């Protein structure tokens, strides 16, 4: 399996590092699976954010989520990492993911 690098957008790296230790451990393991071309254990397609965006669900007593895009050959793009406090994903978190996806597409086009 070919290992792809991560590209962390915006504050996603710092936000993920702020997760509690158990959530960081689970997140790291699941992201490593994605990096190797495997599917995370607990995931969901996030078409509301954009095409090809997926969510890793981290359940360690407190819910955390990571939005990522792995459809591009050059890298796995981590769009957003956050604590989920409500049953439905907040529109503010969806919007962060959307903005960062637009940033990736623009960067790849060279605009």
For residue range 8-28, list pLDDT tens digits in order. 999 999 999 999 999 999 999
How would residue 2 be classed by pLDDT, with cut points 50, 70 and 90?
confident
Q: Is residue 111 predicted with pLDDT exceeding 80?
A: no
Question: What's the confidence (pLDDT) of residue 6?
Answer: 96
Question: What's the confidence (pLDDT) of residue 105?
Answer: 93
Task: Convert 3-40 to b/e letters by CB count within 10 Å (16 or more is b).
Answer: ebeebbbbebeebbeebeeebbebbeebbeebbeeeeb
**Is 3.30.2310 the CATH number for 6-109?**
yes
Q: Is 19 helix (H, G, I), strand (E, B) or coil?
A: coil
Q: Are 34 and 76 in contact (CB under 8 A)?
A: yes
**Which of these, 89, 85, 91, 46, lies nearest to 67 by C-alpha position?**
46
Taking only the tens place, the pLDDT of each residue in 51-96 is: 999 999 999 989 999 999 999 989 999 999 999 999 999 999 999 9
**Which of these, 91, 23, 33, lies nearest to 57 by C-alpha position?**
23
Strand ranges (DSSP E) for 1-111? 6-8, 43-45, 53-59, 63-69, 76-84
Q: Is residue 1 predicted with pLDDT exceeding 70?
A: no
Question: What's the confidence (pLDDT) of residue 110?
Answer: 84
Q: Are 78 and 31 in contact (CB under 8 A)?
A: yes
For the chain, the average pLDDT equals 95
CA distance 32 to 105: 23
**pTM for the structure as a whole:** 0.94
């Amino acid at each position: 399996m070919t290992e792809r690098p991560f590209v962390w957008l915006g504050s996603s790296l710092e936000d993920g590092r702020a997760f509690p230790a158990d959530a960081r451990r689970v997140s790291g393991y699941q992201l490593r699976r994605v990096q190797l071309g495997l599917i995370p254990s607990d995931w969901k397609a996030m078409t509301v954010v954009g095409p090809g965006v997926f969510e890793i669900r981290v359940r360690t007593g407190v819910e955390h989520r990571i939005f990522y895009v792995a459809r591009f050959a050059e890298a796995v793009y981590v769009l957003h990492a956050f604590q989920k406090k409500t049953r439905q994903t907040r529109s503010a978190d969806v919007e962060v993911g959307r903005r960062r996806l637009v940033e990736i597409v623009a960067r790849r086009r060279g605009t």
